[in-house]
Structure 1
Amino acid sequence: MVNDNISFNENYEELAYLKFLNEIESTYGPIPFRIAEAPFFISEDLKTQLIEAGQEIINFIKSPNFNSLTQSSIPKEWNVPNQNTHPHFLALDFAITETENGQLQPKLIELQGFPSLFGFQDYLAEMYKKHFNINPEMSPYFGDFDKTSMFNLLKKVIVGDHNEKEVVLLDVDAHHQKTLIDFKITCEALGIQIVALEEVFEENNDLYYLRNNEKTQIKRIYNRLIFDEIASKPHLLTAHFNPTHALNVEWITHPNWFYNVSKYILPYLKGKYFPQSDYLNNVINNLPTDLSKYIIKPLMSFGGKGVIIDVSKEIIDQIDDPENWIIQEKVDYAPIIPSPNGKAKVELRLMYIWPDNQEPQLCINLARLSKGKMIGVNYNKDLNWVGGSVGLMR
């Protein structure tokens, strides 16, 4: 909703933004990433396109040959046994672009079979609506979802029939992660505990942690642990537990899905919502003539790490494992959010919960505003009207 974004900008007050930040940080402590000055108002047409694009991806994930196509995406050293039939979460990241006739259109950038900031995005939307003059009917939710129904579904999927003390949110150095605010909000709502990898110990294929100094078995893990983050620190796992063992624990979601549903499948996705992509080794001897129209990115990375925006043949020639890289048509984000010193670009994440024996449920969204070459809080330092945000819809 371009008009809504313009109207918000025209009525923006810096004092309201400072009060907005102060309430968030006085409640949950300092936030180690930038929160943008504005939400993004999603038009009905753009919402329809996002839902359609997301469904096309889900249809591919549900195809009969998906597992065979993506089995080699899982690094051998991180292949965890007892993988289930589908991921419990999906996060689909779309650049908001502009067509030749000036219409907004989403283009897929990244995707993950991994949870995102469900708790924080609900809270962030509430804070924007509290501190700014925003129509109270505006919502970050899709369909019939609201705060209560989303957290009820999260609890059903994450906790299930288990005792809450037997379910933990797990991450490496969990109490100091940038996303700690989401961990806190989510665990408060679900009644489970934040547990660092370093606090877990294994006995006879069972996992335990200390809850109020009492040895407590872990039956389910709400998994926020990304193995890539600790690849250079293997002792963190071997000193506590080995996830590649056949452990007596359920993963929500199973770690293998982080690799199965990832940029690894970008070359298989075709259509107006998907930029042209291929594995670099497939085109290494027949590269596009104009490489300025492409980017390359490593398969085994996340959060924009390793992405090369300014591509040349010389750079490609230095890559000794092209089978582990993607070459992708460059996507031009549209500068559509007005601000006092230039327009910002938008990336939107669709966040799904996928219960067992049901269809994936599109619940809520995450937005990122940017003025730099890269989207993300790590690439827009010392700028304003950029950072983490949320999309609001009628």
Structure 2
Amino acid sequence: MIPSVRKAYNEQFTTSAYHHFLQGMAEDAGVAPAFRVAETPVFVPGDLTAKLVQACEEVVNVILRPDFKTLTEDAIPPALRVPGENDHPHFIVIDFAVTRNEAGELEPQLIELQGFPTMNAFQQVMAKQYRNHFQIPAELNNYFNGLDDESYYQLLRDMIIGNLPPEEVILLEVKPEEQKTKIDFYSTEKYLGIRAVCITDLVQEGNQLFYRRDGVLTPVKRIYNRIIFDDLQRQQSTLGEHVNLFQDLDVEWITHPNWFYRISKYTMPLLHSDYIPKSWYLHQLPVIPTDLENYVLKPLFSFAGQGVKIDVTEEDINAISDPENWILQHRVKYDPAIVTPDGNAICEIRMMYIWPDGAARPMLVHNLSRISKGRMIGVGFNSDDTWVGGSCCFFEAIPPAT
């Protein structure tokens, strides 16, 4: 999206460099990505960087409202509420489509947000390998707020492990070795020293949790949670016996599972900004719009794009028996802003926040991007196209105010 940088990158790109880039990530993490990684990062111009940061901070301002928990109480499905919720999420991710406004300028439009961690450890592995194998201008940065590799990983350690021994902190997931994101679990262990543990490997004694680490029964004091609980519920019948996480356990959650629902699609109708498409809870929709081709229908309790209806009809809306669990959102038109050798591509940019205990606001730290040439974005929707898949952004500095 920075024309001069894009042109230079495309001209110096080679398939050999791309293969070495993929190999570099696999060697660093100890496992190859289980999803397609794009041939290119995204180069974000300063004006768009400024708009992304402004949009994020407008979202954060709503999350900081004193009544935010009251407004989002119904976001948590009763069967999925976990005891011991804390005051704020430790991680927030905010996803934007890159679009073009009527003036022809690039701008972000909010797609989704989550009070949940993302590929925090692996994203820097990816960014580093892009720099190692391609010519990325030094003045472009994948970090925010003055962070670098050392301070970023130290921030993650402080946030996830704190003062505990690393062996008493686990990354918790359902069948972690089967997840497409497992490369992040390997990177988390390498750079933070904590292991990925399946829920079926937890042992409960009273309200204490343990797991076997190298054959030794080891206490779990803190859980870096990567379980999506409605997904866990869907898999109950295939998991066999496992610990019930919906009880009052003597463990600290990073991030507490309830925040996955509070900060989610449920939040979108509460947000108002030039960079946030208008949304309604379906049961509060005053009237069905006559231009439904300009809207998308999204289930509140789903992930990875499941259940989203793009070509919405009035019949689709009338057929929904639980409208309180859906939102109707003004459709966002992605701009094919990324020029590739075999056709332009669209992208989403995920802005990644960390919120340490005691901090007044969460801090923007890193990013993730997904590039596509299809109608849907996400690693599960990529076709056989090239120059698509998971990626990261390098941002031009925000220009000074005039």
- Pick the aligned partner of 1:216 from 199, 215, 218: 218
Structure 2 equivalent of residue 319 of structure 1? 320
Amino acid at match of 1:366: L
Greater mean alpha carbon deviation, residues 173-182 or residues 363-372: 173-182
Distance apart, 1:235 and its partner CA = 5.2
Q: Secondary structure at the match of 2:142?
A: coil
Shift of 1:303: 1.1
Q: For structure 1, which segment, 18-27 or 363-372, has the greater mean C-alpha deviation from structure 2 after superposition?
A: 18-27
| AA partner of residue 217 (structure 1) | P
Amino acid across the alignment from 2:185: F
Match in the other structure for 1:153: 155
After TM superposition, the score normalised by the length of structure 1 is: 0.97
Q: Which has the higher mean CA deviation after the structures are superposed, 140-149 or 63-72?
A: 140-149
Deviating more after overlay: 183-192 vs 200-209:
183-192
The Cα shift of 1:137 comes to 4.0
1:16 and 1:132 in contact (8 A); partners too: yes
Q: Per-residue deviation at 1:315? A: 1.6
Distance in 2, matches of 1:23 and 1:300, equals 36
Deviations 1:34-71 (A, max 9, x none): 10010001111111111111111111001011000001
Pairwise mapping of residues 1-394 of structure 1 onto structure 2 (< 5 A)? 1-27=2-28, 28-234=30-236, 239-283=241-285, 286-358=287-359, 359-394=361-396
**What CA distance in whole angstroms lies between the structure 2 residues aligned with 1:192 and 1:139?**
27
Tell me, what secondary structure is at the counterpart of 1:30? coil
Q: Could you list the per-position Cα deviations for residues 131-155 of structure 1 after superposition, in whole angstroms to 9, with x for gaps in the alignment?
A: 1122234321012011111111111
Structural RMSD (CA): 1.4
2:25 touches 2:125 (CA, 8 Å); kept in 1? Answer: no
Say whether the 8 Å CA contact 1:230–1:236 is kept in structure 2: no
Q: Distance in 2 between matches of 1:2 and 1:66?
A: 41
One-letter code aligned to 1:287: I
Q: For 1:201 and 1:219, how far apart are their aligned partners in 2?
A: 13
Task: Work out whether residues 2 and 336 of structure 1, in 8 Å CA contact, stay in contact via their aligned partners in 2.
Answer: no
The residue type paired with residue 338 of structure 1 is V
Deviations 1:301-359 (A, max 9, x none): 11111111111112222211111001000001110111122100110000011001102
TM-aligned CA distance change 1:173 to 1:238, over 3 Å: closer
In the alignment, the residues of structure 2 paired with residue 66 and residue 25 of structure 1 have an alpha-carbon distance, to the nearest angstrom, of 41
| 1:264 aligned partner, one-letter code | Y
Q: Distance in 2 between matches of 1:282 and 1:5?
A: 44
Report how many residues are paired.
Answer: 393
Indicate conservation of the 8 Å contact 2:121/2:187, yes or no: yes
Structure 1 equivalent of residue 399 of structure 2: none
Q: Deviation per CA, 1:255-286, whole angstroms, max 9, x where unpaired?
A: 00000000001011111010010011122x62
Q: How much does 1:175 deviate?
A: 2.3
Q: Distance in 1 between matches of 2:24 and 2:191?
A: 19
Which residue type is aligned with residue 289 of structure 1?
T
Distance in 1 between residues matched to 2:348 and 2:3, nearest whole Å: 15
- Measured in 2, the distance between the counterparts of 1:88 and 1:3 equals 37
Instruction: Give distance in 1, aligned partners of 2:282 and 2:21.
Output: 45
Query: 1:239: how far off?
Result: 2.3
Q: Give SS of 1:231's match.
A: helix
For residue 237 of structure 1, report the CA deviation from its aligned partner: 7.6
Q: What is the CA–CA distance in structure 2 between the aligned matches of 1:101 and 1:273, rounded to whole Å?
A: 14
Mapped to 2, the partners of 1:44 and 1:323 lie a distance apart of 39
Displacement, 1:236?
6.9
8 Å CA contact retained: 2:277, 2:329: yes
Deviations 1:159-187 (A, max 9, x none): 11111111001100012211111111122
Higher mean alpha-carbon deviation, 258-267 vs 23-32, is at 23-32
Q: Secondary structure at the match of 1:377?
A: coil
What is the CA–CA distance in structure 2 between the aligned matches of 1:363 and 1:187, rounded to whole Å? 20
How far has the Cα of 1:11 moved from its partner? 2.5
Q: Tell me by how many angstroms 1:22 deviates.
A: 2.6
Determine the structure 1 residue equivalent to 2:400. Answer: none
| Alpha-carbon separation, structure 2, partners of 1:141 and 1:156 | 18
Letter matched to residue 342 of structure 1: G
Larger deviation: 170-179 or 295-304?
170-179
Give the distance between the partners of 1:150 and 1:23, measured in 2 at CA: 20
Residue type of the alignment partner of 1:242? N
Q: In structure 1, what residue type is equivalent to 2:212?
A: L
Task: Answer whether contact 1:197 1:236 (CA < 8 A) is retained.
Answer: no
Percent identity (aligned): 46
- Read off the aligned partner of 1:54 and give its amino acid letter: C
Shift in CA distance, 77/238, structure 1 to aligned 2, threshold 3 Å: farther
Counterpart residue type for residue 18 of structure 1: H
Paired letter, 1:220 = R
- Greater CA drift, 9-18 or 246-255: 9-18
Distance 1:376 1:235 in 2: 27
